[in-house]
Structure 1
Amino acid sequence: MTALNQYQRLEAAGTWREKPGASPREIIASLGDATLVLTDLRTEVPVSHWSLPAVMRLNPGQSPARYAPGPNDAEMVELDDPLMIAAIEKVHHVIEANRPPSAWLRGWMVLLALGAMVVGAVFWVPPALLRHAADIAPPAQRAEIGRAILSDIEKSAGGTCSRPSGDMARHRLAARLIGPDADIAVLPTALKGARRLPGPLTIIGQDLITGESAAPEIVAGHVLAAQAAASSEDPLLAALRYAGTRATFELLTKGTLPESALAGYGERLLSNPPPRAEDETVLGFFARASVSSEPYARSLDPTGEAVLGLIEADPFRTAQPKQVLSGRDWVALQEICDQ
C-alpha cells in the first residue's frame, strides 16, 4: 500500500487476545503491504493476519490503542508504539480520502450539477443567444427589423415626412455621412437628436431641421453621433433584448420575428435620451466624414462646458471641413414635412 512506503518493515510489541476473557499473549505486530501480521513473541509463529483497511480502533484518543480486525470480530490487540499507531491512522485517512461518495452525497452532487446547469441556462444562454442572433443577422434581416421598429415609432410619432425634393436631400445626406446604402427618415415630431435603428436607417425629428438655430452641420453632427453610439452598442441587440429569447429563437429558426415582438419598442426607444458614445469614438466619426464637431457640441450645451472635449478636439478646428449639404438641398430638407 503506497500510503505505507515510509513505514516499511515497521514492527511494534503489543498484547493480543483471541477473544474476550482469553489470556493475553505478547505479540509483535508487523506491517505488511496491506496487512497487519501478529506473531507470538515466544514461539515466533504468526497467530493472526488482519487486513489493514478493515482494522478499526476501539478507543479513539486513548492509550494504549485498542484495535479489532473488524466490527464483528472477537480478537483485540493493544499497541502503545506511537509510530505504529500513526501508520494505522494514516492508512485509514488515505482510505477515507479515496472512498467513493455515498449514495446520499452522490445524489446531492447530481442535484448541484443540475442546479448549475439550470442557472447557466437561465443567466448565460439567453444573453449568448441574443448576441449570436445579432452577430449573424444579414443586412437584409437587419433592415427588415429596422423598418418594423420605424413602423412602431410612427404609431405614436406620426408617419415619416416625405416630399420629392426633400427625399432627394435626405438620401444625399445619408450617402454623404454614412454610406450609399444608408437612409435617414424624418419624423414630424421632436426627437431631440438622432437614433440609429437596425440596418442602415437613422431617424431624426423635425425639430432638428427647423428653427433659427438649425444648421446642416448640427444635423450632420447628431446623425454621426448616432452612428458612433451604434458602433458601441448594436441597435439590433438592444431590439432583440426587448423582443425576448423566444422571439429571438424564432428569428434564428424562421428568419423573422413574430409580429408582436417589437410592439411598444418604438415608444420606449423615444422615451429615453439618445445614447452617446465616448468622445474619442464620436470624434473619429466626425473626422472620417469631414464634419466639424463644434456645432454639434454647441447644440448639446451652448456654453460648451459639458462638451469641452468635443470642442477642443474638433478635427477641423484649424482646417476647413467639407460642405454637408448644398443650400438648395438644405432648404428642401427643411421643407420635407410641409404639407
Structure 2
Amino acid sequence: MTALEQYSRLEATGLWREGPDAQRCEVLVSLGNATLIIATPAEVARTHWSLPAIMRLNPGKRPALYAPGEQAEERLEIDDRDMIEAIEKLRAAIERRRPHPGRLRLWIGASLGVAMLAGALFWMPSALIRQTVSVLPPAGQEAIGQQLLHEIGRLTGPVCSPVAGSGALTRLSRRVLPDAAPRLAVLPSATPATLALPGNIIVLNAALLEDHDTPEVVAGFILAETIRRDASDPMLRLLHDAGLMATLRLLTTGQLDRAVLQAHAIALLSRETGPISGADLRPHFDAARLDPRPYGAAVAAPELQGASPSPDNSAGTLISDADWVSLQNICSR
C-alpha cells in the first residue's frame, strides 16, 4: 500500500485496553505493512490490528478511540494528531478500494442467482467457496482469523499473552518456520493440541508447553499442524461449515456474522485431528534443522524416535532457556 510509505517511521503513544474489565496501559503505536502494531514502551509487541478491520468509535472527536473490529472488546485511545491523521487516511484509502454497490455488483449478483438455481445442488457451492477464498486478501483472512480466535477464547479462556511469553512465541515461530512464520497463540485449555486458523494463525494448547521438557516437542506439534493446514485450508473449512449464504455475504460485504464464527469455534474445539506420520514429518524436521527424536518419543512415533539427526541439524539451541521458561509459564497468573 503506497499510502503507507510516508508513515513508515511514524510512532505515537496511546492507551490500550485488552477488554472491558482490563486496566488501560500506555503503549507504543506504529504502522506495519497491513497492521497497526501495539507494543510496550520497551517495543515488545502486544498485539497486531489488521488495518482493513479497524473501526473508529468516536468520529471527529479527540482523543480518537479505535477498535480492531465490530465484535472486538479491545480499545485503543490516541491523542497524537499526526497518528490519527495517518490512520484516518489509510482507512479512507482502504475504503475506496473496497467494492461498492453499482451496476457491476448488480450484474454479478444476478448472474450468481441464475447460476445458483442451475447448479446449487451440485458444483456451485464448492466452486463459490474456492473463488471467495482466492479473492479474499491476506489482511481479510487475518482479520477473520483474529475474530475466530476471540470466539474460541470465549470458550476456553482468553489468549495467554504476557509480554515475555509473547516475545518468546515470536522467536519460536521464526526459528521453526522462518520462511512463513505463523502467529502463535496459546490458550489455557482446548480439546485439540493445536489448531490452524485463517490468516496464518496456529493455536497451541497450554498443556503442550507445560507438560513437556523441551521446546523441540512443541516444534514438532507446530510442524504437524502446518502439514494439516496445507492439506486443508482453514478458510475453506470455515466457509464449508458456514454454508452458501454466509459465503455470499463474505464475498459481497467482506464480513461474516458472529454466529457463524461462534459455530465454527465450537466445531474446531470438538473436531478430532488425525496423526501425521513420522515419514511425512521427517523432511520438515530436516528443513527446520531440528532433532526429531524428542517429538518422536512424546507421540510414540518409531520412525522419529529412533532416527539419527540429519548432519544439517546443527543450528544450535532451538530457543534460549529463558524463553522456554517464559513459555512454560505463559498462562500462569
TM range (shorter): 0.5 to 0.7
Displacement after TM superposition at 1:220 (Å)? 0.7
CA RMSD, Structure 1 to Structure 2 (Å): 2.6
3-state SS, counterpart of residue 189 of structure 1: coil
Contact 2:193–2:208 under 8 Å retained in 1: yes
Query: Residue in 2 aligned with 1:198?
Result: 198
**CA 1:117/1:246 → structure 2, altered by over 3 Å: closer, same or farther?**
closer
2: CA distance, partners of 1:117 / 1:219: 45
Q: Residues 250-288 of structure 1, C-alpha deviation per residue, up to 9 Å, x if partnerless?
A: 111112222322222112212123344555543332222
3-state SS, counterpart of residue 185 of structure 1: strand
Contact 2:238–2:264 under 8 Å retained in 1: yes
Query: Residue in 1 aligned with 2:221?
Result: 222
Query: Residue in 2 aligned with 1:330?
Result: 324
Which runs of structure 1 show a deviation greater than 6 angstroms over 4 or more consecutive aligned residues? none
3-state SS, counterpart of residue 176 of structure 1: helix
Contact 1:283–1:310 under 8 Å retained in 2: yes
The 5-angstrom pairing of residues 223-262 of structure 1 reads 223-262=222-261
Displacement after TM superposition at 1:311 (Å)? 4.0
2: CA distance, partners of 1:285 / 1:138: 27
Q: Residues 110-138 of structure 1, C-alpha deviation per residue, up to 9 Å, x if partnerless?
A: xxxxxx99673212100111122223322
Displacement after TM superposition at 1:165 (Å)? 0.8
2: CA distance, partners of 1:150 / 1:250: 20
1: CA distance, partners of 2:248 / 2:190: 35
Contact 1:134–1:237 under 8 Å retained in 2: yes
**CA 1:169/1:221 → structure 2, altered by over 3 Å: closer, same or farther?**
same
Rg comparison, structure with higher value: 1
Query: Residue in 2 aligned with 1:282?
Result: 281
2: CA distance, partners of 1:117 / 1:227: 34
3-state SS, counterpart of residue 250 of structure 1: helix
1: CA distance, partners of 2:231 / 2:279: 12
2: CA distance, partners of 1:206 / 1:309: 26
Query: Residue in 2 aligned with 1:85?
Result: none
1:336 aligned partner, one-letter code:
I
TM-score by length of 1: 0.58
Q: Residues 153-197 of structure 1, C-alpha deviation per residue, up to 9 Å, x if partnerless?
A: 111100011211111111111222234763111111154522211
Query: Residue in 2 aligned with 1:170?
Result: 169
Query: Residue in 2 aligned with 1:189?
Result: 189
3-state SS, counterpart of residue 158 of structure 2: coil
**CA 1:117/1:192 → structure 2, altered by over 3 Å: closer, same or farther?**
closer
3-state SS, counterpart of residue 186 of structure 1: strand
**CA 1:330/1:134 → structure 2, altered by over 3 Å: closer, same or farther?**
same
Contact 2:193–2:205 under 8 Å retained in 1: yes
Contact 1:152–1:264 under 8 Å retained in 2: no
1:141 aligned partner, one-letter code:
G
Contact 2:183–2:202 under 8 Å retained in 1: yes
Contact 1:195–1:226 under 8 Å retained in 2: yes
Displacement after TM superposition at 1:297 (Å)? 2.4
1:214 aligned partner, one-letter code:
D
The 5-angstrom pairing of residues 25-174 of structure 1 reads 120-174=119-173
Contact 1:196–1:227 under 8 Å retained in 2: yes
Displacement after TM superposition at 1:214 (Å)? 3.3
| Deviating more after overlay: 261-270 vs 148-157 | 261-270
Q: Percent identity?
A: 33
**CA 1:241/1:311 → structure 2, altered by over 3 Å: closer, same or farther?**
same
Q: Structure 2 regions of 5+ residues with no counterpart?
A: 1-114
1:308 aligns with 2:307: no
**CA 1:255/1:196 → structure 2, altered by over 3 Å: closer, same or farther?**
same
**CA 1:312/1:191 → structure 2, altered by over 3 Å: closer, same or farther?**
same
**CA 1:126/1:117 → structure 2, altered by over 3 Å: closer, same or farther?**
closer
2: CA distance, partners of 1:178 / 1:142: 20
**CA 1:276/1:269 → structure 2, altered by over 3 Å: closer, same or farther?**
same
3-state SS, counterpart of residue 202 of structure 1: strand
Contact 2:141–2:199 under 8 Å retained in 1: yes
Q: Residues 43-69 of structure 1, C-alpha deviation per residue, up to 9 Å, x if partnerless?
A: xxxxxxxxxxxxxxxxxxxxxxxxxxx
Q: Residues 95-119 of structure 1, C-alpha deviation per residue, up to 9 Å, x if partnerless?
A: xxxxxxxxxxxxxxxxxxxxx9967
1:298 aligns with 2:297: yes
Displacement after TM superposition at 1:313 (Å)? 5.8
1:195 aligned partner, one-letter code:
L
